[in-house]
Amino acid sequence: MTKIKVTERANTIEYAIRDVIVHAKQLAKTGKKIYYLNIGDPVAFDFDTPQHIKHALIRAVEEGANAYSPSEGLPELREAISQKEKRVNNVDVSADNIIVTSGISEGIQMVMAALLDTGDEILLPGPTYPPYISYAKFFGGKPITYETAEESGWQPNLEDLKSKISKRTRGIVIINPNNPCGALYEEKVVKQILDLAGEHEIPVLSDEIYDQIIYEKKFVSTAHLARDIPIIGFNGFSKAYLMTGWRLGYIYFHDQEEQLRELKQCIEKEARIRLCVNTPVQKAGVAALNGPQQHIKETVEKLRQRRDYAWKRLNEIDNVSCAKPEGAFYFFPKIHGIGRRWETDREFVLALLKETGVLLVHGSGFDSVYGAGHVRGVFLPPIETLKEALNELERFMKKNK
């Protein structure tokens, strides 16, 4: 039989968050209870898509919104996004500078494809959301992580970032609030990153999908602070609007001097070759942005209680320490036995899963340098479930001192 050759770029793709599920599924077949703390999907737990959004989808289908739509997105959705960014983040971006995508992941793919040639570099916070690494490599680019410091709540290390800017740097990525750490970047730090970008004439890519899932502190959008620095913004509906499986996101270009004009035109071409985003879902997106917003406050309050419980409980466990998440719904604790009791964080995750059924994600899957020695979990489940899972983690740590 002839062996079909596959490309190196496809063969080397990794996505730690979902790759670990393979091991959990095998274990689940034996009847063992699995605590799925690996994927940031609130709808998989006791959070539900608001009724007015569901009804808008059904209504769109019944009223005939079932044809192809414009590749850049429905005009009414792009306008609603423009208004949302002004209302929520105090960012002025016109509907013409917005492209609707099938979730942020497609947006990342499109931007990396248009921004990176072979050997070009992209600077990412370390640890980082894995698709930034994977898509950069996929298009021949070189992802380079800059340090975020755990001891300061995972704030970016500006000196480290500055030292890694080169002639091949094509952009600086900010993920704020951060996945996987839950950090909320200080306004002065974001301004300093913008100053560096301006000095070196490179754009900033700002991922703000968790902009409305924040706790004690205040979120300030990168574009609001940017002035004349070109910003490529990423956002979407999965988290705050509880529409994870609906796959709806957007890219926007905040670019007063039109430095991103050619890049935007190229991304529009990419949008055309994939035709369009799901039309009825876009109609529901309009309802999500223009309809009642009360569910967001209720979601954040519920998450705050779970954050407080998980953070306190993690720091009570021997050989575990965790910075306080200020946004999103992740914890990213350090496991102090890794490197001694367990050779790697991946080995720790698989051993924990096998013995307890608790499924976390190895930190090196978010960056082999700054994520190593850590694990990522979600505090999305009800407190009773979190209690069971973290009790299992504590028993495991005591047994494996």
Q: Rounded distance, CA 176 to CA 277, Å?
A: 25
Task: Give ∠ CA 372-45-130 in degrees, rounded to 5.
Answer: 30
Buried b (16+ CB within 10 A) or exposed e, 172-202: bbbbbbbbbbbbbbbeebbeebbebbeeeeb
**pLDDT per position as a tens digit, 208-238:** 999 999 999 999 999 999 988 999 999 999 9
- Kindly state the average pLDDT of the residues 273-294: 96
**The predicted structure's pLDDT at residue 257:** 79
**pLDDT per position as a tens digit, 46-62:** 999 999 999 999 999 99
- Enter the tokens of residue 267: 């991304």
- Band of pLDDT at residue 279, cut at 50, 70 and 90: very high
DSSP category for residue 338: B
- Kindly state the average pLDDT of the residues 322-350: 91
**pLDDT per position as a tens digit, 87-124:** 999 999 999 999 999 999 999 999 999 999 999 999 99
Task: Give ∠ CA 29-35-41 in degrees, rounded to 5.
Answer: 110
**The domain 8-48+295-399 belongs to what CATH superfamily?**
Aspartate Aminotransferase, domain 1 (3.90.1150.10)
| Class in CATH terms, 51-290 | alpha beta
CB atoms within 10 A of CB 270: 17
What is the residue-averaged pLDDT of the chain? Answer: 93
The CA distances from residue 11 to 6, 14, 17, 372, in Å, are 7, 9, 17, 23
**The predicted structure's pLDDT at residue 47:** 96
**The predicted structure's pLDDT at residue 17:** 64
Count of positions (residues) in the chain: 401
- Kindly state the average pLDDT of the residues 66-83: 96
Amino acid at 128: T
- Band of pLDDT at residue 7, cut at 50, 70 and 90: confident
Counting residues of the chain whose pLDDT is more than 90, the rounded percentage is 85
- Band of pLDDT at residue 16, cut at 50, 70 and 90: low
Sign of the C-alpha dihedral computed for residues 365, 334, 44 and 89 taken in this order = negative
If 0-12 CB within 10 Å is exposed, 13-18 middle and 19+ buried, where does residue 25 land? exposed
Looking at the DSSP bridge assignments, the partners of residue 235 are 250
If 0-12 CB within 10 Å is exposed, 13-18 middle and 19+ buried, where does residue 68 land? exposed
Whether 15 has a pLDDT exceeding 70, the answer reads: no
For helices 103-115 and 261-273, the axis angle rounded to 10 degrees is: 120
If you search the block for the tokens 């320490």, which residue do you land on? Answer: 321
- Band of pLDDT at residue 258, cut at 50, 70 and 90: confident
Whether 349 has a pLDDT exceeding 70, the answer reads: yes
Q: pTM above the 0.85 mark?
A: yes
Amino acid at 278: N
Domain residue spans in the chain? 8-48+295-399, 51-290
